[in-house]
Chain A
Amino acid sequence: MGSDRRLAWRGGIALRTAAAIPGGYTLTAGIVALLARSLPMSRLDAAEAATMASFVVFAALVVAAFGVRRLTVLLTGLAVAGATVALALLLVPARP
């Protein structure tokens, strides 16, 4: 592999890893906070349910980060998801 292609490959891996791990974790945490806030259950039950689900969500995000064919599609998707979750956290009122 030419050095340019190798650099592009490694850059892609680095970007996907960043999308997967810090990116995926942050998005998952946002989703968990949203679920904990809004699930129609007691404070404790909602927190438990959201946290249990978080590992499935995070695993799916990591698989997507390395599985989605085109990098632009991946990054756009993550950005849209992140913006949606952020907006929802702003609009949905916190528990009393």
Chain B
Amino acid sequence: MKASFRQSMAWLHTWSGLLLGWLLLAIFATGLASYFKAEIHTWMRPELHAPADPVAAMARGVDWIERNIPSVSEISLQAPGPRNPGMEAYWFSDDGYGFGMLDPATGSPHVARDTLGGEFFYRFHFELMLPYPWGRYLAGAAAMTMLIAIVSGIITHKRIFKDFFTFRPGKGQRSWLDLHNVLGVLSLPFHLMISFTGLITLMSLLMPAAVIENYRGDFDAYYAAFDQAAQVSPAGVAAPLTAIEPVLRDAAQRWSDSLSAVRIVAAHDTASRIVVERRLAGRVGYRPDALVYDGVTGRFVAAVPRPGAVVATEETLYGLHMGRFSGALLRWLYALSGLTGYAMIATGLILWVVKRRPRHGTLTAANRVIDRLNAGAVAGLPVAMAAFLLANRLLPFAQEGRAGVETEVFVAALVAMLAASLVAPRRSLWIVLMAIAALAFLALPLVNALTTSRGLNHSLVDGDSVMAAFDATLLMIGLGFGIACAAICRRLRAA
């Protein structure tokens, strides 16, 4: 390899970073947004409002599904919460799988506009809009590459402790390297954790050897081992489902924490079971506690025991990645760490090109394209995300296939930004792209106020904290891009 181990690791770091840098930008952007998945759900469905009684709302949701989905056999419904009033519901019937975001007031999925909401960024993060399992494989490869990039980056970084916060501005390549290092080092524990735990979330797909060995490749049997409560074989004898609300009230009474979900297995069968779940406040481990009830009589059957040490370790690693246990402050720290990761990758991509700029003459044609696409990707991803939110407000409520059109707008906006990066004059490239980003984000709270009754003019007055904070955040992001744009403008004029 290279003359020294350190130089070999520098080579490995550079190439692993470049090959999947753009993909990792997309994964980081959608991942950090996903820490606010619930808030995005809320903002994108302004028709839904928080219920006074979450348990009654859950019962209404189950009732709607019972009455409107013929021959339903499996139901799963998430409780409404302070961050998202809607109830995410999945069901399985003779017509296959169904999904809806149920209105807590009526239990119906048709009250809110048809949108994927926060689920779009969340799924993009690990599926990349590709069919199963290819998206997950690619995301897994990206995560592994990132882990390699981090490990090789640490090995390569001489004097990593002495140089912890070195930043020498105004020195071209030296400054880009310093910025890349500082961003990497600042959130190093986060980056190590997030890439390793990201692999854990996909682990049985990426490394199936253990399941093949211990379960003879029977993945259903493996998954069943984690979800003993739901392992119910329908008896084939029809029986009506008991009233849900008393079961939920019983569970809420046994637990002092609020419920997180209810699942119904083998519905309308004598063997049916109702599983009520809660997420214990402050527990990092991702799998919820569960109480099992008889689906026909409503009688309590058992509490699902807590897992042993090894499974608890896996749950905790999973939970660390999801960050669902976190309160508001920690959630913001997660997102800001993700943002430093995004900036770390962006500066790494810029550094890659800067290092290849010859002292005299210009970059090769290929490097000129990479240089432009770097800008297109770094600015284009946030613009695409803003375009998705704009489409949510601007598409008609009753439009056919609305949710799909919103995702198409995301893709179109990203492609447009990449195309723009290839044709814009190089000197003003970053200024133009940053200006577009600033306008897109600043427009959002305005469009929200003009098209709904939950804009800042209402949410601040009504104490509608999720909507108000969301709009305020969009404004901040827009201003941030505006400031970046102005700063680049000033530097260019001075140069």
**Chain A residues within CB distance 8 Å of chain B:** 12, 16, 28-30, 32-33, 35-37, 41-52, 54-55, 58-59, 62-63, 66-69, 94-95
- Contacting residue for A52 out of B9, B144, B152, B317, CB 8 A: B317
Q: Given the known inter-chain contacts A59-B147, A63-B155, please indicate yes or no for A46 contacting B207, CB distance below 8 A.
A: no
Question: Which residues of B have CB within 8 Å of A35?
Answer: 210
Q: Check: B204 CB closer than 8 A to any chain A CB.
A: yes
Q: Check: B460 CB closer than 8 A to any chain A CB.
A: no
B214 with A52: CB separation less than 8 A: no
B5 with A46: CB separation less than 8 A: no
- Contacting residue for B9 out of A37, A42, A45, A63, CB 8 A: A63
Q: Check: B8 CB closer than 8 A to any chain A CB.
A: yes
Q: Check: B225 CB closer than 8 A to any chain A CB.
A: yes
B215 with A43: CB separation less than 8 A: yes
B151 with A59: CB separation less than 8 A: yes
Q: Check: B313 CB closer than 8 A to any chain A CB.
A: yes
Question: Which residues of B have CB within 8 Å of A29?
Answer: 207, 209
CB-CB nearest in chain A for B11: A66
The secondary-structure label for the interface of chain A is helix
A64 CA / B448 CA spacing, docked (Å): 53
Question: Which residues of B have CB within 8 Å of A67?
Answer: 1, 5, 8-9, 12, 155
B210 with A36: CB separation less than 8 A: yes
Q: What are 30 residue pairs bridging A and B, where the CB atoms are less than 8 Å apart in the complex?
A: A28-B207, A29-B207, A32-B210, A33-B209, A33-B210, A36-B213, A36-B214, A41-B310, A43-B215, A45-B309, A45-B310, A47-B213, A48-B210, A48-B311, A48-B313, A48-B314, A51-B203, A51-B207, A52-B314, A54-B203, A54-B210, A55-B199, A55-B203, A58-B144, A63-B9, A63-B148, A66-B9, A67-B155, A68-B1, A69-B5
Question: Which residues of B have CB within 8 Å of A62?
Answer: 12, 148
CB-CB nearest in chain A for B148: A62
B424 to chain A, nearest CB (A): 35
The secondary-structure label for the interface of chain B is helix
Q: Given the known inter-chain contacts A48-B311, A63-B12, please indicate yes or no for A36 contacting B209, CB distance below 8 A.
A: yes
CB-CB nearest in chain A for B12: A66
A63 CA / B148 CA spacing, docked (Å): 7
CB-CB nearest in chain B for A43: B214
A63 CA / B199 CA spacing, docked (Å): 17
A3 CA / B145 CA spacing, docked (Å): 30
B145 to chain A, nearest CB (A): 9
B49 to chain A, nearest CB (A): 42
Question: Which residues of A have CB within 8 Å of B167?
Answer: none
A33 with B212: CB separation less than 8 A: yes
Within 8 A of A (CB), among B101-119: none
Q: Check: B222 CB closer than 8 A to any chain A CB.
A: yes
Q: Given the known inter-chain contacts A63-B155, A66-B11, A67-B5, please indicate yes or no for A52 contacting B203, CB distance below 8 A.
A: yes
A48 CA / B152 CA spacing, docked (Å): 27
A46 CA / B11 CA spacing, docked (Å): 36
Q: Check: B211 CB closer than 8 A to any chain A CB.
A: yes
3 tightest Cβ-Cβ pairs between the two chains A and B = A36-B210, A45-B310, A47-B210
CB-CB nearest in chain A for B9: A67
- Contacting residue for B308 out of A12, A45, A68, A94, CB 8 A: A45
Contact with A along B53-90 (1 / 0, CB 8 A): 00000000000000000000000000000000000000
